[in-house]
Amino acid sequence: MIMSAVLAVALNAVPVMHQPQSLTARGQQLCSLVRDVHQTVDRRGDVHLVGHDKANRAFDLKIYGNGDVEGSVGAWDVSFHAVDAS
């Protein structure tokens, strides 16, 4: 699922190359990364992921309908573009 991959990238759990590549993050891998996560969808259809990772860093991510991801993980701001390859 794309949400797992977004979390894996945002939490810096997987390397990301500057060239396009396929990334798959499975549910088990996600469980090893996060302590808790809450997902909501706003009126525009944008997805919000809020929670804490295993290091107790708070994360707050917004995934826009076009695949852009913005938010914060601990003290870091993150932004990247995600595409569902399925």
Q: Does 23 map to a domain?
A: yes
The reply to whether 50 falls in a domain is: yes
Is 28 domain-assigned?
Answer: yes
| Residue 86 resides in a domain | no
What's the total number of domains in the chain? Answer: 1
Range of the domain at 12: 2-81
Q: 20 lies in a domain?
A: yes
Whole-angstrom distance, CA of residue 16 vs CA of residue 46: 23
- CA quadruple 46, 61, 82, 4: dihedral sign: negative
46-83 pLDDT tens trace: 999 999 988 899 999 999 989 899 999 999 999 888 87
Would the pTM of this model clear 0.85, i.e. be above it? no
Share of the chain above pLDDT 90, in %: 40
Q: Are 11 and 33 contacting, i.e. CB atoms less than 8 angstroms apart?
A: yes
